[in-house]
Amino acid sequence: MIGKVLRGRRVQGLLRYLYGPGRQGEHENPRMVAGYGDPASLEPILRADGRRDFRRLDRLLTQPLAALGDRNYGKPVWHLSLRAAPDDPVLSDRQWAQAANEVMARTGLAADGDADGDADGDADGVRWVAVRHADDHIHIVATLARADGVRPEIWNDGYRVREACRAVERRFGLRSTAPADRTAARRPTRAESEKAVRRGRDEAARTVVRRAVQAAAAGAAGDKEFFAHLTGEGLLVRRRFSRRTPGEVTGYAVALPDDVNAAGEPVWYGGGKLAADLTLPKLRRRWTADGLGRHLSAPSARAVLRTAVRRAADEARTVPQFLDRLSDDGLLVKLRYSQQVADQITGYAVALPTPEGEEPTWYPGSRLAHDLSLASLHARWDDPDVKRRPVRDDLTPEERQAFYDDAAKAAAFATAQIRRHLATNPYAAQDACWAASDALQAAAAATGNRHLRRAAHAYDRAARFPYGRIPRPSSAGNALRAAARILRLTGFPKDNATVSILTLVANLFSLVDTIAHVRRLQQHQAQADAARTAARHLGHGHSAPDSSQAMLAMTGFPNPWRAPGAAASQRPTSRRPSGPSPRRGPTR
């Protein structure tokens, strides 16, 4: 059972709609099943011409509003649509009355309402009625003013309604629905959905913006990279600054350039209005996870450092600016000073952060690339022509394959860590469940594969911890975040990395399937369903992800075992390439 709360200004207009034929004649035999008093005495009078007279009921419901005066809500009419699932049994009028009283009691609007659906209850509570005009739902109409002159508190009333719905489900044996644990992303409103249809969009603007923000957050190293990616995707970004600390960014909002309101202004969505874990403070919790260097091989670490150093060099014009940008990217920096001139910097080395107690691996600039030594950077910054043409930094085929291999190892490592806790403490896997969303988003962006993209979208709810809480960092979660960061750097595959992508997708399948099991053990059904759906997309409709044909379809690349000129439907021959082949399971 689900309930949707709406707010309005006029009672009588709503009553006329509920007792009317409906927009498409769907209202049949409208009648009152419950209320703050005897439903029979509150029922609108049927006039001689066959129409209802709502004046008396309108006066009864709005009378307490006069006592509040200026303290009234701007929209004092509280309207709840309460609907059962299509496959649920049809409830009687008395059962719907009990459901309505359960809602009013749990929301505190009529705190002492009779749970059995009988009349009376909280004499000083709000005045309300419940109207039924179909088998599967009722409408509750209340005015937000108590008879004792107190304005009722309705903060978080949607969550209280969700609790009431689950109580009604247990009471009448209805289909069980997910709790209001804030793991679901904010759904588009009806107005947003209708606006998308009018403008020919497949999805509402809120959904498009949320997915863009999730993709930008996955693999980002900090605020600067996050906002730069959003701007690069063509979105409008607005930062919110602290009132106490000038220059400190405390939040953000994002908008689509072509999504405007009636005044022609962009419609902005703050991170918290998109999903519970997309506020800026919670995003920063992802980016501050340390130990990136611990989860990367030497070729991957060197490529990550070279990319970051080259980007800092493109943005800087002096040594202090260069060093500041390296620090902003979270890199460790060690300087070499001249032995003849005091305080003169003659060289530098960089390293990725490692856990406390582990010695980082340092790379001098000249070892990263011949043009990244400090002397070469000085010559570059002094050349005005070079300033206008930043140097591109393309990965080598070996480095790109190392990125995919490291990401696959991170997924396998996280799966093993989660399975260790299955029997003893499944809640220890929360951070890995959260970080898996970043890995899926980054893998989808790196490969451009539609099945991976669907898997990342489907997995969304499975990632979040209930009630918007952020789990403690873990080694498995940090490994997956490291994988997301390097996958973001790969770009679309240009080399023959098919085998590495096969391994990555297979390991992601195992990871998501394991997380689905964890969510079931935690009794988080909605999150378990989301993980299972993601696993089905990763499996691409096949019974197992280790089928090479299925996995090749996932990558979108040609089959390396197919002979040149063979038809697409031809089975692979026994001839194999000289390179490594994907493992089909443990050998015996």
Transcribe 482-494 into DSSP letters.
HHHHHHHHH-S--
Decide: 182 and 276 in contact? Cβ < 8 Å. Answer: yes
Q: Output the pLDDT for position 82.
A: 94
Decide: 533 and 522 in contact? Cβ < 8 Å. Answer: no
Instruction: Spell 514-537 as b/e; 16+ CB within 10 A means b.
Output: bbbbbbbebebeebbbbbbbbbbb
The answer for residues whose C-beta is within 8 angstroms of residue 167's C-beta and 6 or more apart is 102, 106
So what CATH class is 2-172? alpha beta
Count of other CB atoms within 10 angstroms of residue 124? 13
Report d(CA 546, CA 525) in Å as an integer.
Answer: 27
Residue 582 has φ and ψ, to the nearest 5°, of -70, 145
Q: Output the pLDDT for position 393.
A: 59
Q: Output the pLDDT for position 547.
A: 40
3-state SS record for 499-539: HHHHHHHHHHHHHHHHHHHHHHHCCCHHHHHHHHHHHHHHH
| Of residues 318, 319, 314, 316, the one with CA closest to residue 333 | 319
Q: Would you state the structure tokens that stand for residue 524, as one six-digit string?
A: 């988080």
Report d(CA 227, CA 246) in Å as an integer.
Answer: 19
Report d(CA 526, CA 461) in Å as an integer.
Answer: 8
Q: Which helix (H) or strand (E) holds 377?
A: helix 374-381
Written as one string, the DSSP assignment of 342-354 is TT-EEEEEEE---
Decide: 371 and 391 in contact? Cβ < 8 Å. Answer: yes
User: Going residue by residue through the chain (588 aa), what tens digit of pLDDT does each one get?
Assistant: 889 999 999 999 999 999 988 877 788 889 999 999 999 999 998 888 888 999 999 999 999 998 888 888 999 999 999 999 888 999 999 999 999 999 999 998 987 544 454 445 567 789 999 999 989 999 999 999 988 888 998 888 888 898 899 899 999 999 887 776 667 778 888 889 999 999 888 899 999 999 999 999 987 888 888 999 999 999 999 999 998 888 899 999 999 999 999 899 999 999 999 988 899 999 988 886 566 778 889 999 999 999 999 989 988 889 999 999 998 888 899 999 998 888 899 999 999 888 777 888 999 999 999 889 999 999 888 876 655 555 555 788 888 889 999 999 999 999 999 998 887 888 888 999 999 999 999 999 888 888 899 999 999 888 888 777 888 888 899 999 999 989 988 866 555 567 788 889 999 999 999 999 999 888 888 889 999 999 999 886 444 444 444 444 544 444 333 333 433 333 343 334 444 444 444 443
Decide: 501 and 555 in contact? Cβ < 8 Å. Answer: yes
Decide: 269 and 254 in contact? Cβ < 8 Å. Answer: yes
The C-alpha torsion from 511 through 513 and 516 to 518, rounded to 10°, is -60
Report d(CA 524, CA 242) in Å as an integer.
Answer: 37
The answer for residues whose C-beta is within 8 angstroms of residue 71's C-beta and 6 or more apart is 151
Q: Output the pLDDT for position 14.
A: 93
Report d(CA 53, CA 72) in Å as an integer.
Answer: 26
| Of residues 307, 517, 487, 498, the one with CA closest to residue 409 | 487
Written as one string, the DSSP assignment of 417-467 is HHHHTTTT-GGGGHHHHHHHHHHHHHHHHHH--HHHHHHHHHHGGGGPPGG
Q: Output the pLDDT for position 246.
A: 86
Decide: 249 and 226 in contact? Cβ < 8 Å. Answer: no
Decide: 387 and 381 in contact? Cβ < 8 Å. Answer: yes
Q: Output the pLDDT for position 448.
A: 83
Q: Where are the domains of the chain?
A: 2-172, 190-286, 293-387, 397-555
Decide: 538 and 509 in contact? Cβ < 8 Å. Answer: yes
Q: Would you state the structure tokens that stand for residue 495, as one six-digit string?
A: 């080399």
Residue with tokens 């709502």: 54
Query: What Cα–Cα distance (Å) separates residue 105 from each residue in 98, 111, 164, 165?
Result: 11, 4, 9, 12
